[in-house]
Structure 1
């Protein structure tokens, strides 16, 4: 399940359990609309009791990321598991976005970083 909150050019998501096609059927159009409106977006992705993606949801995510590589400015990955931190490191070569991992105890810091005006 995914919950979504939109604020200007920032998309805040909280993922719980395993993300499905239905989650991405809701999320992708919102991300694309934000890109259409602002050109470049930032994405806060918080993982709570996160179990990953169904295979087809992971494919939707991957297609979106490749299609919009230059339109993602920053991605804050927030979680509490070692594999979530490693996932962040694995993503870095595949995106033009600044991507940073934060522990769940650092949610406020992650939100401040995602909002920070680029220098």
Structure 2
């Protein structure tokens, strides 16, 4: 299950349980809408409560990022799972967005509100 909220300066995505293709398509629509009207998207992806993801969702993620990677400004990923962290690092191959990896949501929010880091990657 996915929860999407539009905050002042970013989109917050929270995943609970299994992350499915249908969930990912909801995420895609939110990003495409936001980028169409407001430019590159800042995103907080909170995956602390994610238990699993489906293979078709993972494939869709690769396709979406390859096609729309320029629509992201900053992406904060909150998770302590090493596979999620690895996936976030791999996503850097398809986007120029800064990607920050965090274990706490508050740290991710703070980072999203800061000025861009010229190195493009943050670990916290």
> TM-score of the superposition, structure 1-length normalised?
0.85
Root mean square deviation, CA, Å: 1.8
**Runs (5+) with no aligned partner, structure 1:** none
The verdict on how the C-alpha distance between 1:9 and 1:40 changes in structure 2, with shifts beyond 3 A counting, is: farther
Question: In structure 2, how many angstroms separate the alpha carbons of the residues matched to 1:17 and 1:8?
Answer: 26
The verdict on how the C-alpha distance between 1:111 and 1:38 changes in structure 2, with shifts beyond 3 A counting, is: same
**Which structure carries more strand by proportion?**
1
Corresponding position of 2:107: 109
May I ask how many residue pairs the two structures share in their alignment?
Answer: 117
Moved over 4 A (4+): none
| 1:69, distance to aligned residue in structure 2 (A) | 1.3
Any conservation in 1 of the 2:65–2:91 contact (CA below 8 Å)?
no
